Chain A
Amino acid sequence: MDTTGPLSSDGLVQLLTPSGERIGHEQFDAYASHLTAHDLRAFWRDMTVLRAFDMEATSLQRQGELGLWVQSWGQEAAQIGSGHALREPDFVFPSYREHGVALTRDVDLVEILRIFRGLQHGAWNPADHGFHLYSLVIGTHALHATGYAMAMDRDGLVASGTPAADGAVVAYFGDGATSQGDVSEAMVFAAVNNAPVVFFVQNNQFAISEPATRQSRVPIADRGKGFGIPSVRVDGNDVIASHAVTRWALEHARSGQGPVLIEAFTYRRGAHTTSDDPTRYRSKAQEEYWAERDPIARLDAYLTSTGELTDEFRAQVAAECKALGERTRTTVRSWSKPATATMFDHVYALPHATVEAERAWFERYESSFEDLEAAR
């Protein structure tokens, strides 16, 4: 759309055009050449399942089953493409919209909804999935990711001499988070410590309602230069390019060459959350422009043109989506409200006097209400 500023399309790495045409790239083609038709079908399947889940969760919020839902609609390629570039030793620090990355890390999508039904702060064991809990505070986890990466380096898990055993960290955040001091601090520390961390910015063009043009005068990737961090801008609606660029960045980090900043230029097709009304700050025309650049439609067009997306496979994935929708509904509706006092359970790893005092106070407070039964 724009030719200058943060929304410019200059320098965007693209391997698949919006019309579904596979094109080459001097540097990054090599990082996509290993992808077989089977791999691309898996990408298509993941993106399709993710979107179906996203829509189901949105419906559940509208039916009163979830307090809030944060849609990943439109950002499937950036998440699924980059997520599939990760491997076992890697560790991810997500913000709260990374459902697609969670899917690639074998987190059960349905379990994520425990957070959005207000039952738990986190619903999976980060150690089991190499996938940290969602960070609801904007940008703080960029620091956590950097610290974790510095520790991996000190533990000898980077550039160990056995490339297959090396790991790196990926911090996912959005364009809005880049305006937070924490993110700048994280980049300072990552650069001077040569930390094996990839900062993956999904520039979905809006910090809630604030457009990217009010977050930066230049493309966000340009900021990497100031920190001394190599950076790359990629078409975030192109799953193949997103995958290739992330694969390159992870190799860079794992091999001890330090941090990388990736800006995946994409578009949030849904609202910021179910509490938001995007019609207040963006036009129908803009939404339609980006609908034509939809990440799933693009891969669909490519795989259809090459004859690798059969009706049988489509039907199989459609059935999978339907089954996931049903499992999501029945599972979420079956979750009863946990005792409110359980929120004190995991504040510290060990018993803590202050937490115990607060728990005792809270239990007295809760027991002072008349409608104890009704509140169950």
Chain B
Amino acid sequence: MPTFQQFTMPDAGEGLTEADIITWMVGPGDTVEVNQPIVEIETAKSLVELPCPFDGVVSRLLAQEGETVDVGAPILEVDVDPNGEAPAEPAPSADAATAPAAAPAAAPASPAHDVPAQDAPVPSADAAAGSSSDEGSGAVLVGYGVRAGSAQRRPRNADALEPVGGAQDLGDYPVLAKPPVRKLARDLGVDLTTVTPSGPGGLVTREDVEQHVKATAAQTLATYPGDDQPWLETGTTQGDGRTTRVPVKSVRKRTAEAMVQSAFTAPHVTEFHTVDVTETMNLVAKLKQDRDFQDVRVTPLLIVAKALLLAVRRHPEINAAWDEDAQEIVYKHYVNLGIAASTPRGLVVPNIKDAHRLPLHALAVELQHLTAEARAGKLPPAAMTDGTITITNVGALGIDTGTPILNPGEAAILAFGAVRQQPWVHEGEIKVRWVTQLALSFDHRLVDGELGARVLYDVGRVMEDPAQGLVWA
């Protein structure tokens, strides 16, 4: 029976990902031997002749001269048993070459020096394909030819808790960035700790710094004909130069719809609570030093999130929704914790699925992941749906508090204000303490003032004394 083997493009250098076919030295019908030169290819490094790994008859050329072929893609098909009886059927894919079963042990009519490919438990196609799925080697013994960024990355599990690379495990630098990026940040007056990293293992890249500058820089103003008052440079002014009109679309449109629906269907009540969070700040400082938290950014928001999860555990009725159509209140047994995030595209509220199940470290990783993905605009739609309760971190903008509007379909939203050093009565004396304001808005249709107050009080209680979390956990 004819038995087809495919030869896949090898990595002829170290870490190459593709090569060009220059000249075929064989064609369909030609008899080939092991190690006979069959094709000349050009890699980023050199012109290379490839030797055939099989004895047999060429059945097909799978790549044309001049074509650029990825490492691991089949380029040649050889019938390694051309005297077989069954009609020739081309191997449908490279899989055939990797399956030893595709080469049944026919009567070995070949002389002893022939090495039929079926004797090789790991055919070349397998090895070559395997190597292509590995990350390309940037470090080579001969120092040229590997294109930057040509490495292919293996997909990671969605539930993998550690950030890609996890390089932060190996050092205790507060911010990871390469020296040129550090210099850029210094030149631009950017504090690297405020930049959201997007690189592997939490590395701050040049693009991150530039993006940060763009996002935080004062926007350029211009004056327009008709009025001497400056307005943003990017904009289309009306004829009299006194207004600019921008079509409502995308995130802004959805935000508007959701806010209108929420504000005018759910009667909002907001309660406020000012708390001494000095112990929370101490805990954050400790966690930053903790070995187990070296791979993630620890912020006070993490403790707020944990405090809210503990409060929800004590008062599960707050984690609910009003179902107008069914005239039912839906109590959620799970917490998908929403985090309002300001992004270049507008406000989005992605949520951490089943946040109530997550230990502190995992929660921190998810928080970091969620905000980074949101800012990068890479969140899948699923991340935005089925939230059950939300935190809005208005303090990140230096604001004390606000009256947040509910995320539609939820019964409560917590605003976390700026944490400031303020004079505070502590153990009978006026001391400088870290103080913040918490505000909880809730849907008065299903949450009474008492329940809202209890939830807010419990959040504040954990923030004042994180050890309380041990009691309630």
Do A275 and B45 have beta carbons less than 8 Å apart?
Answer: yes
Binary per-residue interface labels of chain B (218-261) against chain A in the complex, 1 for a CB within 8 Å, 0 otherwise: 00000000000000000000000000000000000000000000
CB–CB B11/A62 < 8 A: no
Task: Let me know if B34 is at the binding interface, CB within 8 A.
Answer: yes
B404 beta carbon closer than 8 Å to chain A: no
Q: A59-B51, A68-B141, A369-B155 are in contact. Are A364 and B162 (CB under 8 A)?
A: yes
Beta-carbon nearest neighbor of A278 in chain B:
B46
Chain A: minimal CB distance from B18 (Å):
14
Q: List 25 A-B contacts (CB under 8 A).
A: A63-B7, A63-B10, A63-B51, A64-B9, A64-B131, A65-B127, A67-B11, A68-B14, A273-B142, A275-B12, A279-B47, A326-B113, A326-B115, A329-B34, A333-B123, A335-B122, A337-B130, A364-B162, A365-B162, A368-B160, A368-B161, A371-B133, A371-B154, A371-B155, A375-B134
From B9, B52, B141, residue with most partner A Cβ within 10 Å = B141
- Given A68-B14, A364-B162, A62 and B48 contact (CB-CB distance below 8 Å): yes
Contact yes or no, A334 B51, CB < 8 A = no
In whole angstroms, how far apart are the Cα atoms of A330 and B123 in the complex? 10
The residue on B at minimum CB distance from A334 is B121
- Chain B, range 131-183, C-beta contacts under 8 Å to A: 131, 133-134, 140-142, 145, 154-157, 160-162, 166, 169
Interface residues of B in 1-50 (CB under 8 A from A): 7-14, 34-35, 45-50
Contact of B51 among A62, A275, A276 (CB under 8 A): A62
Does A64 contact B141, Cβ atoms closer than 8 Å?
A: no
The answer to whether A41 has its CB under 8 Å from any CB of chain B is no
Residues of B near A136 (CB, < 8 A) are 141
Report the minimal beta-carbon distance from B9 to chain A, rounded to whole angstroms. Answer: 8
Asked if B106 is at the interface (CB within 8 A of a chain A CB), the reply is no
Known contacts A208-B142, A277-B46: does B120 contact A370 (CB below 8 Å)? no
Q: How far is the CA of A56 from the CA of B115 in the complex (A)?
A: 14
Q: Does B47 contact A334, Cβ atoms closer than 8 Å?
A: no
Measured between beta carbons, the chain B residues less than 8 angstroms from A333 are: 120-124, 127
A61 contacts partner chain B, Cβ-Cβ < 8 Å: yes
Within 8 A of B (CB), among A296-346: 322, 325-326, 329-330, 333-337
15 extra interface residue pairs, beta carbon distance < 8 Å, beyond A274-B12, A329-B115, A361-B169: A56-B35, A63-B50, A64-B10, A64-B131, A275-B145, A279-B46, A280-B46, A326-B113, A330-B115, A330-B120, A333-B123, A337-B130, A361-B166, A364-B162, A365-B162
Contacts from A to B (Cβ < 8 Å) = 55-56, 59, 61-65, 67-68, 136, 208, 272-277, 279-280, 322, 325-326, 329-330, 333-337, 361, 364-365, 368-371, 374-375
Question: In whole angstroms, what is the CA distance A194 to B50 when docked?
Answer: 50
Chain A residues with CB under 8 Å of B134's CB are 375
Main secondary structure of the interface of B (DSSP, over half): loop
Question: In the bound complex, how far is the Cα of B131 from the Cα of A375, in angstroms?
Answer: 9
Q: Does B402 reach chain A (CB closer than 8 Å)?
A: no
CB distance from B26 to the nearest CB of A (A): 15
A329 to B123, CA, bound (A): 10
* Chain B positions within 8 Å of A276 at CB level: 45-46, 142
Known contacts A334-B120, A370-B157, A375 near B133 by CB under 8 Å: yes
Q: Are A63 and B142 in contact (CB under 8 A)?
A: no
With A63-B53, A64-B10, A64-B131 as contacts: A275 and B142 at CB distance below 8 Å: yes
Q: Could you tell me the distance between the alpha carbons of A215 and B169 in the complex, rounded to whole angstroms?
A: 41
> Does the CB pair A370–B141 fall under 8 Å?
no
